[in-house]
Amino acid sequence: MNKILSILVRLKLTIKLIMGFGFVLMTALMIGLQNQRDFTVLKDETQALYEKELLGISHIKEANNNLMIMGRSLRQMMLSPNFKEREYARRSLKDAQIHLQTELSEGRKRINHPENLKQLAEFDELFAKYCSYVEYVETLLESNNSYNKSLAVQFLFSSEFISIGQKADDTLDAITDFEVKRAKDAAAHVEFVYAKNRRRSIGLLLIGLIGASMFGWLIGISIRSPFNKLMDTINQLLSGNINIEIPFKDFDNEIGDIARSFEIFQGDAKSLERQNQFKGMQTDIGAELQRCKSHSDFGDTLFSRLAPIMGLVYAAFYVSNYSHTLLQKAGGYACINSKDTFVWGKGLVGQAAYDKRVISTKLTSDDNIGLEIGIGTLNIREVLIVPLLHLGEVSAVMELCSIYDFTDEQKAFLDLILPMVSMNFEILSTNIKTCQRFENNIVLTQDQGSNYIETYSI
């Protein structure tokens, strides 16, 4: 069941609906075809009952009636006072004999039971003998001899003639009774078939209803379950839990489309949150940099804040002189044994300042460049050298090193704060220049005062 449900969950809604309606239609079609087959069977059974049993009974009864008409016509011939009536009775006798043989022939086609066939053979013998007796009586009656007529009357009422007619009649009655019994059995069988087909139809209908209900329930669960789970995830996402994992993103259906849409929304929310975090960190770093009093203090403060964010294991801050010919180290992060100065255009630090662009270099363990720690050496993975620009001129260069590759997010944060760092550094440099000029003016004033006193004393 779970396997079927897991397959249904991944299907598109249109396919699920088509499968649901298709299952219902297929069930209805199967029930309809089965009912059609049952009706056909019932029709064939009823047709067989009519053609083989009822028609057979009808023909045998009709033959029996014609047998009685023959006997009645023969007696009418004997009692007719004139030739015309006797001739009419004779024609009735012949017609009855012909009809009996015709009906018997038709009935024989529909009788196939051995017992009835045996009785038909007996009837044929009795009827042939009966017909010979009838012809004998006819011959006697057709003569004008009164003696022959008395013989005919005597023979007609003899036990032998009556016995032959009665045996023939009893044989047809036995055949009819047997066929009636068979017809009743066939009717009972038809009723049994009808009841059986009716129960089968009801069973198929119940199975179809149960199957359709279960399949519809499975389809409903396959739609409702992922939808409810996705809505719960979306509600948590909208309530502020933007790091929650959105399910069903790999589904190639409507649920997957919704999940992927909200994944884009989640990415935008994360990006907005990161921007807010970046702006908060930028504000904090800017506030701390504004409290710095020297270039060394500026470099130390900047990299102490950037180290956990950028994953730094080494950083150095190089300040350019006014003539843009030399870069002097002024603070950093874990850079005790680093080089103190770089000439513009010399080394990667000097080249970054000369080109006024960022230089990024990835290293391998074979480069043998690392940072000493207590238990060994940390191999540097990537070096990032970033110049600080103010009004198109380089005022300082930052050298950043990490044992991992710098991520796009870290580089984006660095790009975000560079204008702020450059502005604060320029403010600090201006303040330092102002302080130096002020101190120089004080020293110059003191020297001028000392010279004035010396001249006045002389």
Over 70: is that where the pLDDT of 49 sits?
Answer: no
pLDDT band at 329 (very low <50, low <70, confident <90, very high): very high
Instruction: Please tell me whether residues 420 and 311 are part of one structural domain.
Output: yes
Over 80: is that where the pLDDT of 142 sits?
Answer: no
Spatial neighbors of 411 by CB under 8 A, at least 6 apart, are 384
- Assign 3-state DSSP to the chain and report helix, strand, coil percentages, each to 5: 75, 10, 15
Domain containing residue 77: CATH number: 1.20.120.1730
pLDDT, mean of residues 26-55: 77
Instruction: Please tell me whether residues 39 and 184 are part of one structural domain.
Output: yes
How much is the mean pLDDT over the chain?
83
In-domain check, residue 450: no
Instruction: Please tell me whether residues 250 and 347 are part of one structural domain.
Output: no
Domain containing residue 377: CATH number: 3.30.450.40
| 451/31 Cα distance (integer angstroms) | 126
In-domain check, residue 235: no
Instruction: Please tell me whether residues 368 and 396 are part of one structural domain.
Output: yes
pLDDT digits (tens, 9 = 90+) for 172-230: 888 888 878 877 887 787 788 888 888 888 888 888 888 888 878 888 887 888 888 88
In-domain check, residue 435: no
Over 80: is that where the pLDDT of 374 sits?
Answer: no
| 208/28 Cα distance (integer angstroms) | 8
In-domain check, residue 223: no
Confidence (pLDDT) at 266: 80
Domain total in the chain: 3
Q: Which of 398, 370, 363 is nearest to 384 (CA)?
A: 398
In-domain check, residue 136: yes
Residue 233: both structure tokens together: 């995830």
Instruction: Please tell me whether residues 316 and 285 are part of one structural domain.
Output: no
Over 60: is that where the pLDDT of 452 sits?
Answer: no
Residue 361: both structure tokens together: 């270099």
Instruction: Please tell me whether residues 285 and 298 are part of one structural domain.
Output: no
Over 70: is that where the pLDDT of 455 sits?
Answer: no
Instruction: Please tell me whether residues 296 and 284 are part of one structural domain.
Output: no
Q: At what angle do helices 55-79 and 146-156 cross, to 10 degrees?
A: 150
In-domain check, residue 400: yes
pLDDT, mean of residues 65-81: 85
| 37/403 Cα distance (integer angstroms) | 81
Q: In this structure, which long-range contacts are made by residues 119-122, counting pairs with CB atoms below 8 Å and at least 24 apart in sequence?
A: 119/171, 119/174, 119/175, 119/178, 120/175, 122/171
Domain range holding 255?
Answer: 240-290
Q: What is the C-alpha R_g of the chain? A: 61
- 309 near 278, Cβ under 8 Å? no
Over 90: is that where the pLDDT of 398 sits?
Answer: yes
For the ranges 84-88, 184-188, 411-415, which has the lowest average pLDDT? 184-188
pLDDT, mean of residues 23-31: 81
Q: Could you tell me the CA-to-CA distances from 3 to 9, 222, 368 in Å, in that order?
A: 10, 11, 55
Instruction: Please tell me whether residues 275 and 163 are part of one structural domain.
Output: no
CA dihedral 429, 435, 439, 440 (to 10 degrees): 40
Instruction: Please tell me whether residues 254 and 318 are part of one structural domain.
Output: no
Over 90: is that where the pLDDT of 141 sits?
Answer: no
Confidence (pLDDT) at 402: 92
| 166/413 Cα distance (integer angstroms) | 125
**Where does residue 145 fall: left (phi above 0), alpha (psi -120 to 50 degrees), or beta otherwise?**
beta
In-domain check, residue 160: yes
Over 70: is that where the pLDDT of 454 sits?
Answer: no
Q: Could you tell me the CA-to-CA distances from 203 to 113, 208, 213 in Å, in that order?
A: 37, 8, 15
Give me the percent of the chain exceeding a pLDDT of 90.
17
Over 70: is that where the pLDDT of 449 sits?
Answer: no
Give me the percent of the chain exceeding a pLDDT of 70.
94
The single-letter code of the amino acid at 411 is: K
Spatial neighbors of 304 by CB under 8 A, at least 6 apart, are 333
Domain stop point among 290, 323, 354: 290
Instruction: Please tell me whether residues 206 and 247 are part of one structural domain.
Output: no
Q: Is the pTM of this model over 0.75?
A: no
CA dihedral 447, 449, 452, 458 (to 10 degrees): -90
Identify the residue whose tokens are 């009822």: 54
Confidence (pLDDT) at 384: 94
- 126 near 164, Cβ under 8 Å? yes
Instruction: Please tell me whether residues 15 and 157 are part of one structural domain.
Output: yes
Element (H, E) at 357: none
pLDDT, mean of residues 21-49: 79
Over 60: is that where the pLDDT of 428 sits?
Answer: yes
In-domain check, residue 51: yes
Instruction: Please tell me whether residues 8 and 155 are part of one structural domain.
Output: yes
